[in-house]
A and B are shown apart, each in its own frame.
Chain A
Amino acid sequence: MQKKETGSMKRNRFIANTIVHVVLAILSIIWLFPVVWIVLESFNANPDPGSSSFFPSAFGIQNYIKLFTETDQFYFAKWFMNTLLVAIGTCLLSTFYVLCISYTLSRLRFKARKKLMNVGLILNMFPAFMSMIAVYYILKGIGLSESLVSLVFVYSSGQALQYHIAKGFFDTIPRAVDEAAWIDGATRFQVFYKITVPLSKPILIYTVLTSFMAPWIDFIFAKVILGTNYNKYTVAIGMWTMMEREFIQDWYGCFTAAAVIVSIPISLLFLFMQRYYVEGMSAGAVKG
């Protein structure tokens, strides 16, 4: 049965669509405004944190030049490399951890399994940085404090407890696959690297990217572990320091330039892994 639209229905729908698009446009402007603003500010020729206007009066690339040339106090290029190194280290180590833990807890059956999962649950409920001072002294005890290596260990151990999404993924692979292989005489390790790993590309990508991004974003552990050694800083604490009261006057322009430089790769990575993020989250949501 074909329904016939009356003229007034058509008009109503047109009005509704117009309203929706206007609302979406306004909201988009609000959401994108800070993004556009920081890009404009980074090209501001006279950066002034006390400026009363949103838009720069003159454009130039001085902020970028200063960011990379005035390195006596704040050495941004070095911070960037530090963070990159930590990120690579963290993403290797923590992907290894997460893969091991989530595979074991999901696919293998052993006595302590439920207990370990409960311990993981309990550990996750404490504020993550509650123990940072103790971590600092342990690192000092093994001679690793104020170093980038220690950050890799701390981040990776933290990420190891975030295995739930990967485990949820492994849970969805039918166990019959594994059992068939066991019957055929494959060891559990062979099943792991010949069957499961090739099947788990999406979750591997997801894990690699999230752990790669963590060091760029984390602030607390880096601040406590790296102390006051400016040259060992990662970008997050370095840029936070730039915005501190004693530095903001001189470094505000550089902060915006640094923000643009850091945000571009991170945003691209995020947009790329968005698909996996949604998949992982919705797998979690369906499973509860």
Chain B
Amino acid sequence: MKKLFDGIKQGFKNVFGLLKDAWEYGDLWTRLSFLVLGAGNIARKQIVKGIIYLAMELGFIFYMIMFGVTALSHFGDLGTKEQGMAYNEATGVYETAQGDNSMLLLLAAVVAIFIIVFFVVMWYKNVKSAYRTQLNKEMGKKNNTIKEDFADYLDTKLHFTMLFVPIMSVLVFNILPLFYMILIAFTNFDRTHQPPGNLFDWVGLRNFGVMLSSKGTIGQTFWPILGWTFVWAIFATFLNYIFGMLLAIIINRKGTKFKAMWRTFFVLTIAIPQFVSLLLMRHMFADNGPMNGTLMSLGIIPEGDPILFLSSKTLARITIIIINLWVGMPYTVLTTTGILQNIPSDLYESAKVDGANAVTIFWKITLPYMLFVTTPKLITDFVGNINNFNVIFFLSEGGPKTTKYYQAGYTDLLVTWLYHLTVDSKDYCYASVIGIFVFVISAVLSLITYRNTASYKDEEGFS
């Protein structure tokens, strides 16, 4: 953490140091570049580059006058005019009067902020470029021609060329929406404040308080769901891990015949799209589904008294964890087989000489070894299970539903609750708060692992 802040401090120092130098030692053209972008470049015969900078400035000014200023001015109030009925003098009837739309106003403001940040970065680059060309000229060095500049973008600046398009795309479709939704967590954009009919406004940290307090229904939903999310993640991760590994071991042990066939059988189930297999499972275990039907016709359970596999609280949770074994064990087989074969065989042999049986060998040698090697994978799996939308949503949709919870059921995880709050009830602000909590949980868990793995510390170990 300290390193991070030091890094940021150093970064600011560098930026402001350069700006100060450019102002103090810059000539007329360099100083002019502070105001008129590209001036320095044009003066030093980098016409195209200078014109590009200038065009950016003009475009920015145009944008700010036409949209930017209005967009930013609503960032604080998020709109004031509610949509309502207004009497139209000319036609003599009541009409819907266009009001403000907080949602779009906030979005426009966020876009404006991104554009301003982008422009500031460009402005800084422009000053830097102007100052550098000036220094080059003073020291008698040649400045790059436009052709040389282009060549640079395929060589020493290749990283810029290759990253530009992907990063733009990620910026528009990932970072901007995410930034927007994080802001939403600090507003009251819930079902009762839906624009354009109603406006929403900033409420500070209120939503976080509502979520964490044990008073209202939302708080009383959050804590049990958080608890179940962890219970689920622990069971789903470790049961799949241990049973999957056992399965891999018995497939790969010396005496087993047709190893490839058994492996293919299990891997085949991964190959089927999850929504197909899971929807099928839901149907299979429904109250009037074929599983109950078969049990009834076999006389194992009485007629008309089905087992509520997916519609009673505790049983639904157990059913889901067990079905998840069906989903997850093949993955473990797939990923651990190779690592299992790497366990040094002298470990096994000496254990056998000491008279250890298979169970002891598993607990004392295989499991500790595997835990040592695959801890990062386990923690990634754990985070993955906290975010495991598919299994829960397709199997139970979070149900059985209950009135004790706000828009959620007994098997809902934080992420499926987030989905319900977004799609079903449009309580966007609470959904965002949950998203932030999930982020915090994942971040804490991942930081612990990533910081401790070899690949983060010693990335170039191979090269």
Q: Which residues of A contact B (CB under 8 A)?
A: 13, 16-17, 20-21, 23-24, 27-28, 30-32, 34-35, 37-38, 49-54, 96-97, 100-101, 103-104, 108, 110, 113, 116, 121-123, 125-135, 137-138, 141, 153-154, 156-158, 160-161, 168, 171-176, 187-189, 192, 216-217, 219-220, 223-224, 236, 239-240, 243, 252, 255-256, 259, 262-263, 266-268, 270-271, 274, 277-278, 281-282, 284-285, 287-288
Contacts and interface: CB of A to CB of B under 8 A. Distances in A.
Contacts of A35: 268-269, 272
Interface in B160-178: 160-163, 165-166, 169-170, 172-178
B271 A285 contact: no
Contact of A20 (B162, B180, B250): B250
A176 B166 contact: no
B177 A220 contact: no
Given A53-B297, A138-B107, A189 B271 contact: no
Contacts of B172: 138, 157
B312 interface: no
A281 B103 CA distance: 42
12 contacts: A24-B250, A27-B266, A103-B162, A121-B450, A126-B178, A126-B442, A127-B387, A138-B173, A174-B462, A192-B162, A278-B335, A287-B461
A31 B393 CA distance: 21
B75 to A, nearest CB: 16
Given A28-B265, A158-B174, A125 B276 contact: no
Nearest to A179: B463
A219 B275 contact: yes
Interface string B304-338: 00000000000000000000001000100011011
Interface size class of B (residues with CB under 8 A): 35 or more
B458 to A, nearest CB: 9
B78 interface: no
B53 interface: no
Given A97-B166, A134-B107, A267-B268, A285 B250 contact: no
A223 B459 contact: no
B350 interface: no
A174 B463 CA distance: 5
B273 A28 contact: no
Contact of A134 (B177, B330, B337, B450): B177
Chain B interface secondary structure, helix, strand, loop or mixed? helix
Contacts of A252: 283
A252 B454 CA distance: 50
A100 B377 contact: no
Given A285-B335, A288-B376, A134 B180 contact: yes
B147 interface: no
A157 B170 contact: yes
B23 interface: no
Contacts of B107: 134, 137-138, 141
Interface of B: 103-104, 107, 151, 154-156, 158-163, 165-166, 169-170, 172-178, 180-181, 184, 247, 250-251, 253, 255-257, 262, 264-277, 279-284, 288, 290, 292-294, 296-297, 326, 330, 334-335, 337-339, 373-374, 376-377, 383, 387, 389-390, 393-394, 415, 418-419, 422-423, 428, 431-432, 435, 438-439, 442-443, 446, 450, 453-456, 459-463
B279 A243 contact: yes
A100 B162 contact: yes
B455 A20 contact: no
A282 B338 CA distance: 8
B173 A153 contact: yes
B180 to A, nearest CB: 4
A217 B277 CA distance: 11
A28 B284 contact: no
Given A31-B269, A216-B273, A287-B454, A130 B181 contact: yes
A101 B156 contact: no
Nearest to B180: A134
A13 B155 contact: no
B334 A277 contact: yes
Given A32-B268, A174-B463, A278-B335, A285 B162 contact: no
Contacts of A101: 162-163, 166
Contacts of A266: 271-273
